[in-house]
Amino acid sequence: MLVGDLMDRDLTSLGEDATLMEAIEVLSRHRIPGLPIVDAEGRVVGFLSEKDIVRAALPGYIDLLEDPSYVPDMGQFKVRMKRASMDSVGRHMTKEVVCLSTNDSDFHAALIMIKKNLKRAPVVKEGILVGVVNRADIIEHLMSE
């Protein structure tokens, strides 16, 4: 089966100029772990996950630490999160997005998602967002066969 046949044809996304606050609200209301970031024509230019949002509130040296106990306490984290909430999505999104094509096979999609440890990946046709594939969609599809 092709990705175009098993994807969720949902176009929930935000523009680069949206704030992190807006992104948090969309993720929460839509109950999704991440969303594609698109330009004015719907072309995918990035992807923002919950992880990217958390990272926005953490100090820059976090990647250098082996032990997360050095991370500031929850109070400081909240302050930093509030400060970051007015930042643009474009500043914190992942710019090198793994996109699937509607013509990719289900096997290719499964391999990519496992290899890159993705829960959700945008699906594009000629660069334009046409849907998303969730790991759960692939598992549901495999089980129904």
Partner 1 sequence: MDKTIVTVTMNPAVDIQYVVPDFRPGRWFRASEVDRSAGGKGINVSIILQQLGYESAAMGFLAGFSGEYIRDTLRRLKLTTNFVNVIGESRTDVYIVDEVGHIETGVAEAGPYISDEALHRFMKNFDRILSRARLVYLGGSLPPGVPQDAYKDLILRCKEAKVPVFVDAFGPALTAALEGVPKVVKFDHRFLFSTLGYPMGDLDDVLELVSKIHDSGVEWSVTTYRAVGNIFYTPEGIYLVDIEREVKEQMVSLLAIGDALMAGLMVALLEDMDVEKAIRFAQACSLEDTLHVKKGIRGRDMVESLMPKILVEKLD
Q: From the CB of 28, what's the least distance to partner 1, in Å?
A: 9
Buried b or exposed e, range 28-66, using 16+ CB within 10 angstroms? eeeebebbbbbeeeeebbbbbbeebbeebbbeeeeeeee
> Does 138 engage in binding with partner 1 (CB under 8 A)?
no
Candidate residues 16, 22, 50, 87; the one interacting with partner 1 per rule CB under 8 A = 22
> Does 12 engage in binding with partner 1 (CB under 8 A)?
yes
> Does 8 engage in binding with partner 1 (CB under 8 A)?
yes
46, 97 Cβ separation under 8 angstroms: yes
CB nearer partner 1, residue 9 or residue 95: 9
88, 19 Cβ separation under 8 angstroms: yes
Q: From the CB of 44, what's the least distance to partner 1, in Å?
A: 12
> Does 15 engage in binding with partner 1 (CB under 8 A)?
yes
